[in-house]
Structure 1
Amino acid sequence: MLETERQIWYAAFKAKDTRFDGRLFVGVSSTGIYCRPICRAKMPKAENCTFYTTAAEAEQAGFRPCLICRPELAPGNAPVDATSSLAHRAARLLEALCGSEQSIGEAAHRLGCTDRHLRRAFTAEYSVSPVQYLQTCRLLLAKNLLTDTDLSVIDVAMAAGFGSLRRFNDLFKKQYNLVPTALRRQAATAKNKESNVTLTLGYRPPYQWQQMLDFLALRAIPGVEVVRDGEYLRTVHFETSGQRHVYGWIRVGHQPKKNALTVTVDIALLPVLTQVLARVRHLFDLHCDPDAVYETLVTMNDIRPGLCVLGVRVPGSFEPFEMAVRAVLGQQITVKGARTLAARLVEKHGVPIQTGIEGLTNVFPSPQEILALDGPISNHLGPLGIIGARANTIFELARAFVQKDVDFNFCAQPETEVQRLMSVPGIGTWTAQYIAMRAMGWPDAFLHTDYGIKKALEPRTPKEILGLAEAWRPWRSYATVNLWNYL
């Protein structure tokens, strides 16, 4: 590392600069711990500091996580250049799968590359192997659970993907020089005594939380989603690797003073906890670097003051099939009209569950359940007010999900998946771009034919709008949301 670079990183550490949080970790040789750059502990001397780009790299160098700034709460990154896109999508996939027993080879297959290529790209980007990164994900999740919840140590070990208590204890002690029960005794925070689990997920500020809630509230599907009292709640359904169906609910709130979201998870979802947290991060766009986005999009304010606001996030999705169906239902009708059709679909074909929470009564029907309906799909969806063409599109979407014709999650090449998606009858440019933006997490999707976009940028034609948006790459999804918000 160049001395000038070390000086820049130390200055960021000294200033507690939130822009570097999640992109920089500081190993302190005098204490043997590593910190986030926002840590409020006593400032170490520059000669005692070593800088790393990931928590995994710091741990491989022999440092233990700080108990004050808690590196497990650091936000992630979302670069989009071709050289690092694969590695970062792989990192997000590993975070989601760290609670399961899936191999690195299976992760590579899902990302459409060879095991060897993934390891090479990952190591070049993060300076650690995928296996080492996965180990750190599991250890930090376990540390989070031990610190913030009342779960038994064996439940913590299983939820974090260790497979056995002995393996967990051995690795935790080896890596952190601390047994799990000792960390629990040291934890100063109050434990959760209810029959659920509450964890904290950090983000890089600022975060336009109310705008995000307003967007989700307008599109919330009755029975499945509720937005109230400044929080987002929804029902959840997963099928485990053992083909067991797991049902429950989550609640997401905001802690602006901590630059974090609180995520309360039904205890029934503990076997799929890592997948739940990964989807919450995706839904609320917690990997976003708002300063990097704003630096590119600030020129939008030359068109009209206030067109671009620092801290705007792109609403993702928790359940990609649900979101894709919702996009189809929204074709050429109002947001309210699409919400009404989605509510009828859930009431008729959704799975009823008991949550004990007002307004959360069903999970959205799965693609398998749609395909299992007898006879023409229009016979089932037509009486709900869904026209035949859209009913057929929903059926074909379900087929694409089940047969994996299109990768709706962690896809390495969103542009390719968009083209595949447009081969589904009834999926045009607007719908494909919308699904890519929200389900696939593509930051450069752009809906130039959208009514709201045209309204915000009138009197320009769609062709002129598309040309104008070239200057907003690779953040055109964020430009889209800013334009919607402006209206």
Structure 2
Amino acid sequence: MDTSPRHDDDARYRALCSHDARFDGRLFVGVTSTGIYCRPVCRVRTPRRENCRFFDHAAQAEQAGFRPCLRCRPELAPLQRHWSTEDASAILAQQATRWLDDPAHWSDEGDATPAMERLSARLGVSSRHLRRVFEAQLGVSPLQYLLTRKLLTAKQLLADTSLPIAQVAQSSGFASLRRFNAAVAEHYGLNPSQMRRRAEPDRDRTLRPVAMTWCPPYDASAMLRFLGDRHLPGVECVDSGPALTLVRTVRLQHAGRIHTGWFTARLEPDAHRLCLSVSDGLHLALPALIWRVRALFDLDADPHAINALLHADFPAGDGLRVPGALDGFELAVRAVLGQQISVAAARTLAARLAERLGEPIETGHPQLTRLFPDAEALASVEPQVLGELGIVRQRQAALQALARAVLTGMVDLDAGADTERTLQTLVALPGIGPWTAQYIAMRALRWPDAWPVGDVALTQALGLPDHRSAAAHRTAQQRSQHWRPWRSYAVIRAWSGAHIPQESSK
């Protein structure tokens, strides 16, 4: 049962008094006596009930005139993810928020079409209709939502990095320093330099990790084990033991530039927190990297809504999340390589590909020597080179068709992509079937309702007899309807062995 206090202010106040991390990101409280809004985990003295106004989103609190708390830092809260597969207005709003949350879409610099017009065109609706639906669903306009995301990102960069203020403005999607200064002053009543001084004036920001939080429960060990089983030597290194760390190289495009480097992500389960340390080359791309790391570790999932639907069938899986991807193209390549072979064999092929075609990079880590090859490298390589790596002809054709589709813009593998359109495009490519397309949607597109069609391990995990048969796959598909819109989470739980067979759960 979902214990959300979203529409009950008395329940929200009880959640605030308890400082319960399960409600982090799901509500914010504005305190009328101070003009500040906080997360429910804030450790300042709890305000009086009559001084509290409750909001579902930080953008609502800022629209109402409240400023973010400098202690609990609302910019660190998980992003809300409410999903629907049936309500057209809810689907449109969730598609819009996914696009607006991605820093790749924030800046209008170098693009004659403003962001809202690009978003409306992408969704196939008018700007007026989008605004009307968005305001009905979220209580703020798309522009107000976007401005809050940009301002909170800038606030985090001011607090956690030593980037010059002009670079903070650019990295946060502001077209000019003047516009940035004006927006900060109007919404927060301070200029950027004052915000930086008030954050933690005595703290050295040059070596400070960037923090991100999640809403518990979260099985950090399971997440690192999944990533560790699939890690690529030379590109990444995973410690799923006590350290709970991922170290890897990355290539990012942000604010019109390509940035390369490496980072360390360390999970701290007791604090419900991930700490991110980055190399110098990634400082200007921090917003994009934070966004992708949040997706990789699925930090913004709503475990309350998911567990309300899945707990009865997967009681041991409440803390499991769906591992994402830092780069959609990389994930798709690895999915194609993994067709009909073991995880270990697929990892071996991907490691050979990275070693042969990946750009060398100096990191100071002996385990990290390569960037994963991009679409251009894979599209231009001679097929026999792929054959020398042990990749069969059918996979060679699929990989190069995929790379060309990405280069031409025919297929979009970003987390905010239109899922149905991308699925249709993927299965039209040679060598990519429904299973591969759904797996890509689950991990790269962050689609919570993916279902890998015909997955033998899945039907076996669900305890279906003759699990390789078409009848078993049909039964699994029928049974999965009960788990919508969270079938991706059901898949991860079934693969992990958390499922109770249907007969036993009655």
One of 142, 154, 167 as aligned partner of 1:142: 154
3-state SS, counterpart of residue 145 of structure 1: helix
> Is the Cα–Cα contact under 8 Å of residues 284 and 315 in structure 1 kept in the other structure?
yes
Deviation at 1:285, TM superposition (A): 0.9
3-state SS, counterpart of residue 102 of structure 2: helix
> Is the Cα–Cα contact under 8 Å of residues 148 and 191 in structure 1 kept in the other structure?
no
One of 318, 327, 332 as aligned partner of 1:324: 332
3-state SS, counterpart of residue 247 of structure 1: strand
Amino acid at match of 2:95: R
Alignment of 1:408-423 (within 5 A): 408-411=413-416, 413-423=418-428
* 2:362 paired residue number: 354
One of 309, 319, 323 as aligned partner of 1:296: 309
Residue 363 and residue 192 in structure 1: after superposition, are their counterparts in 2 closer, same or farther (change >3 A)?
farther
Amino acid at match of 1:123: E
3-state SS, counterpart of residue 496 of structure 2: helix
Residue 484 and residue 299 in structure 1: after superposition, are their counterparts in 2 closer, same or farther (change >3 A)?
same
Alignment of 1:260-275 (within 5 A): 260-275=273-288
> Is the Cα–Cα contact under 8 Å of residues 167 and 284 in structure 2 kept in the other structure?
no
* 2:213 paired residue number: 202
Amino acid at match of 1:389: Q
One of 294, 300, 317 as aligned partner of 1:281: 294
* 2:178 paired residue number: 166
Aligned length, in residue pairs:
476
Does residue 424 (structure 1) correspond to residue 429 (structure 2)? The answer is: yes
Does residue 60 (structure 1) correspond to residue 63 (structure 2)? The answer is: yes
* 1:238 paired residue number: 252
Deviation at 1:262, TM superposition (A): 1.1
* 2:133 paired residue number: 121
244-253 vs 342-351, greater mean Cα deviation: 244-253
Deviation at 1:99, TM superposition (A): 5.5
Deviation at 1:106, TM superposition (A): 2.1
> Is the Cα–Cα contact under 8 Å of residues 173 and 255 in structure 2 kept in the other structure?
no
Does residue 485 (structure 1) correspond to residue 496 (structure 2)? The answer is: yes
* Partner Cα separation in structure 2 for residue 176 and residue 114 of structure 1: 32
Amino acid at match of 1:449: G
Deviation at 1:48, TM superposition (A): 1.2
3-state SS, counterpart of residue 362 of structure 1: coil
Deviation at 1:437, TM superposition (A): 0.5
119-128 vs 347-356, greater mean Cα deviation: 119-128
Q: Deviations over 1:64-114 (max 9, x none)?
A: 111221111111122221432332332232232265336222233344444
One of 81, 100, 107 as aligned partner of 1:100: 107
Does residue 24 (structure 1) correspond to residue 27 (structure 2)? The answer is: yes
248-257 vs 67-76, greater mean Cα deviation: 248-257
> Is the Cα–Cα contact under 8 Å of residues 131 and 142 in structure 2 kept in the other structure?
yes
One of 86, 90, 93 as aligned partner of 1:84: 90
Q: Provide the aligned C-alpha RMSD in A.
A: 2.3
* 2:261 paired residue number: 248
Amino acid at match of 1:349: L
Deviation at 1:178, TM superposition (A): 2.0
> Is the Cα–Cα contact under 8 Å of residues 453 and 480 in structure 1 kept in the other structure?
yes
Deviation at 1:411, TM superposition (A): 4.6
Alignment of 1:391-410 (within 5 A): 391-410=396-415
> Is the Cα–Cα contact under 8 Å of residues 254 and 288 in structure 2 kept in the other structure?
no
> Is the Cα–Cα contact under 8 Å of residues 197 and 265 in structure 1 kept in the other structure?
no
Deviation at 1:388, TM superposition (A): 0.3
Q: Deviations over 1:126-153 (max 9, x none)?
A: 2222222222112211221222223333
> Is the Cα–Cα contact under 8 Å of residues 448 and 465 in structure 1 kept in the other structure?
no
* Partner Cα separation in structure 2 for residue 219 and residue 400 of structure 1: 25
> Is the Cα–Cα contact under 8 Å of residues 434 and 453 in structure 2 kept in the other structure?
no
Does residue 339 (structure 1) correspond to residue 347 (structure 2)? The answer is: yes
3-state SS, counterpart of residue 209 of structure 2: strand
> Is the Cα–Cα contact under 8 Å of residues 102 and 416 in structure 2 kept in the other structure?
no
Identity across matched positions, percent: 45
* Partner Cα separation in structure 2 for residue 210 and residue 321 of structure 1: 26
> Is the Cα–Cα contact under 8 Å of residues 160 and 205 in structure 2 kept in the other structure?
no
Deviation at 1:415, TM superposition (A): 3.3
Deviation at 1:174, TM superposition (A): 2.2
Deviation at 1:414, TM superposition (A): 2.0
Q: Deviations over 1:268-317 (max 9, x none)?
A: 1233222211111111111101121111112214xxxx5x4111100011
* Partner Cα separation in structure 2 for residue 366 and residue 265 of structure 1: 21
* 1:434 paired residue number: 439
Amino acid at match of 1:463: R
> Is the Cα–Cα contact under 8 Å of residues 197 and 267 in structure 1 kept in the other structure?
no
> Is the Cα–Cα contact under 8 Å of residues 350 and 363 in structure 1 kept in the other structure?
yes
* Partner Cα separation in structure 1 for residue 83 and residue 306 of structure 2: 11
Unaligned runs of 5+ in 1: none
> Is the Cα–Cα contact under 8 Å of residues 327 and 414 in structure 2 kept in the other structure?
no
* 2:502 paired residue number: none
Amino acid at match of 2:485: P
Residue 108 and residue 273 in structure 1: after superposition, are their counterparts in 2 closer, same or farther (change >3 A)?
farther
Deviation at 1:362, TM superposition (A): 1.3
